[in-house]
Amino acid sequence: MYNTQAVLTNNNEIILNYLIETIGCQMNVCESDWLGSVLSTYGMSRVSSLSDADIVILNTCSVRYQAEQKAFSYLGRVEEFRQQNPDTKIVVTGCMAERLGLKIKQRFKSVDLIVGAKDIDITALKIIDLCNIEAEKQEELNIPSDIARYVTIMRGCDNYCSYCVVPFVRGRETSLDAEIIVKKCSLFVKNGAKEIMLLGQNVNSYQYNDVKFTSLIKKISTINGLERIRFMTNHPKDLGDDLVSVMATEPKVCSHIHIPMQSASNKILKAMDRKYTYERYLELINKLRNVITDVSITTDIIVGFPGETESDFEKTLKAVKDIRFGGLYVFRYSPRPDTKAFELIDDVPLEEKKRRHAIILKESNKISVEIVAAMVGSMQQVLAERFENGVIEARTRGGRKVFVKGGTGKDLGKHLNVVIKEAKINSLFGDVV
Residues that bind ligand 5AD in the complex, under the rule CB under 6 A: 63-64, 163-164, 260, 262, 300, 302, 331, 333-334, 336
Binds 64: which of ligand SF4, ligand 5AD, none (CB < 5-8 Å by kind): ligand 5AD
What angle in degrees, to the nearest 10, is found between the helix axes of 213-221 and 178-190? 30
Taking the alpha carbons of 267, 272, 275, 279 in that order, is the dihedral positive or negative?
Answer: negative
Amino acid at 248: A
- Supply the Cα-derived Rg of the chain in whole angstroms: 23
Residue of 57, 164, 197, 285 interacting with ligand SF4 (CB under 6 A): 164
Q: Please report how close the Cβ of residue 74 comes to ligand SF4 at its closest, in angstroms.
A: 23
Q: Which residues pair with 301 in a beta bridge?
A: 262, 330
Shorter beta-carbon distance to ligand SF4: residue 159 or 296: 159
Q: Which stretch binds ligand SF4 (CB under 6 A): 11-19, 53-61, 156-164, 220-228?
A: 156-164
Q: Is 201 in the site for ligand SF4 (CB under 6 A)?
A: yes
Q: How far is the CB of 325 from ligand SF4 (least distance, A)?
A: 17
DSSP letter string, 251-264: TTB-SEEE---B-S
Q: Which partner in ligand SF4, ligand 5AD, none is near 331 (CB below 5 to 8 A by kind)?
A: ligand 5AD
Q: Assess 159 for contact with ligand SF4 (CB under 6 A).
A: yes
Closest alpha carbon to 68 in 144, 165, 149 = 165
Residue 378 burial (CB count, 10 A): 13
Q: List the interface residues with ligand SF4, window 9-38 (CB under 6 A).
A: none
Residue in 161, 197, 247, 254 binding ligand SF4, rule: CB under 6 A: 161
Locate the DSSP E strands across 249-390.
256-258, 296-303, 327-332, 379-388
Task: Kindly tell me which of 18 and 331 has the beta carbon lying closer to ligand SF4.
Answer: 331
Interacting span for ligand SF4 (CB under 6 A) from 77-85, 155-163, 263-271, 283-291: 155-163
Query: 3-class DSSP state for residue 93?
Result: strand
Name the one range near ligand SF4 by CB under 6 A: 108-116, 153-161, 362-370, 411-419.
Answer: 153-161
271 binds, among ligand 5AD, ligand SF4, none (CB under 5 to 8 A by kind): none
- The enclosing H or E element of 174 equals strand 174-175
* Strand 154-155 relative to strand 148-152, pairing: unpaired
The answer to whether 153 contacts ligand SF4 (rule: CB under 6 A) is no
Among ligand 5AD, ligand SF4, none, partner that 235 touches (CB below 5 to 8 angstroms by kind): ligand SF4
**Residue 259 in contact with ligand SF4, rule: CB under 6 A:** no
Rounded distance between C-alpha atoms, residue 62 and residue 78, angstroms: 19
* Alpha-helical segments (H) within 117-191: 120-130, 166-170, 178-190
- Binder of residue 157, out of ligand SF4, ligand 5AD, none (CB less than 5 to 8 A by kind): ligand SF4
Cβ nearer to ligand 5AD, comparing 88 with 299: 299
* Residues pairing with 208 in the sheet: 211
Shortest approach of ligand SF4 to residue 156 CB, angstroms? 9
Question: Per CB under 6 A, which of residues 230..249 are in contact with ligand SF4?
Answer: 235
Q: Which does 302 bind (CB under 5 to 8 A by kind): ligand 5AD, ligand SF4, none?
A: ligand 5AD
Residues 6+ apart with CB under 8 A from 129: none
The number of residues that bind ligand SF4 (CB under 6 A) is 10
> Dihedral sign, CA of 150, 155, 158, 163?
positive
Q: Are strands 379-388 and 415-424 parallel, antiparallel or unpaired?
A: antiparallel
Q: How far is the CB of 300 from ligand 5AD (least distance, A)?
A: 3
- Considering beta carbons, is residue 260 or 399 the nearer one to ligand 5AD? 260
Instruction: State the binding partner of 147 from ligand 5AD, ligand SF4, none, CB within 5 to 8 A by kind.
Output: none
Is residue 282 a contact partner of residue 318, using CB atoms and an 8 Å limit?
no
Burial (CB count <10 Å: 0-12, 13-18, 19+), residue 237:
middle
**How does DSSP assign 334-384, residue by residue?**
---TTSGGGGS---S-HHHHHHHHHHHHHHHHHHHHHHHHTTTT-EEEEEE
Binding of ligand SF4 at residue 160 (CB under 6 A)?
yes
167 binds ligand SF4 (CB under 6 A): yes
Of 206 and 333, nearer to ligand 5AD (C-beta) is 333
Rule CB under 6 A: say whether 372 interacts with ligand SF4: no
| Burial (0-12, 13-18, 19+ Cβ within 10 Å), 50 | middle
Amino acid at residue number 102: L
Q: Is 202 near ligand SF4 (CB under 6 A)?
A: yes
Beta partners for residue 47, in sequence order:
none
Cα 325 from Cα 264, distance rounded (Å):
13
Site residues for ligand SF4 per CB under 6 A: 157, 159-161, 164, 166-167, 201-202, 235
